[in-house]
Chain A
Amino acid sequence: DAGITQSPRHKVTETGTPVTLRCHQTENHRYMYWYRQDPGHGLRLIHYSYGVKDTDKGEVSDGYSVSRSKTEDFLLTLESATSSQTSVYFCAISEGTSGTGEQYFGPGTRLTVT
């Protein structure tokens, strides 16, 4: 299995508080992604990174920010959590242009905003 870890694995927080989720990889892959998964919507891309300090928005980026200061770490921040951000968050990695396109996913973080 690809070396991807996510922390925390579970978190309960209150509306209005900031939350940061961490994705860590040991594969030295260039691309990293954050997805959220909700019932009835499948997986949707929030943000992605194509290198250190290089990030871009996905289809559901409102209310989220990301940062990548090192190749191995990709952080997802909810500046002020809302109940609509209760979801399961998955991180993924890919070699990108040097590979053949497959992505490898982490175990997920279950976030509950009360």
Chain B
Amino acid sequence: DAKTTQPTSMDCAEGRAANLPCNHSTISGNEYVYWYRQIHSQGPQYIIHGLKNNETNEMASLIITEDRKSSTLILPHATLRDTAVYYCIVRVARGTGKLIFGQGTTLQVKP
């Protein structure tokens, strides 16, 4: 599975959009980009995933560059409850489903 690079931490003002970047320059053609987050002491929570098209669900939007070497998770209106560690993971969709977690980005939403 491809390795990802994320900033260690980011701040965002409450009510503003939070844009979390992820680099995955060695991604393969059959690998998807998945985003999870972990709110303090809780189990990780699946947010969204995509292959090459931009995706949107009730939680977030995922923008993947045309060359697929990077992506951005967008929380359109961040709230204090979005303060968490956000993990970007690249892997194939099928198969055993093993996830390899990096250190992620700690997003602090401030009032």
Contact = CB atoms under 8 A, between A and B. Distances in A.
Interface of A: 31, 33, 35, 42-45, 48, 50, 56, 58, 88, 90, 92, 94, 96-97, 100-108
Given A42-B102, A100-B49, A105 B44 contact: yes
Contacts of B81: none
22 contacts: A31-B96, A42-B104, A43-B44, A43-B101, A44-B101, A90-B44, A94-B97, A96-B94, A96-B95, A96-B96, A96-B97, A100-B32, A100-B93, A101-B94, A101-B97, A102-B46, A103-B36, A103-B46, A104-B46, A105-B43, A107-B42, A108-B42
Contact of A42 (B32, B94, B97, B103): B103
Interface in B19-73: 32, 34, 36, 41-46, 49
Contacts, number: 66
Interface residues of B, number: 25
Q: Is the interface of A mostly helix, strand, loop or mixed?
A: strand
B98 A97 contact: no
A46 B30 CA distance: 25
Contact of A97 (B36, B87, B95): B95
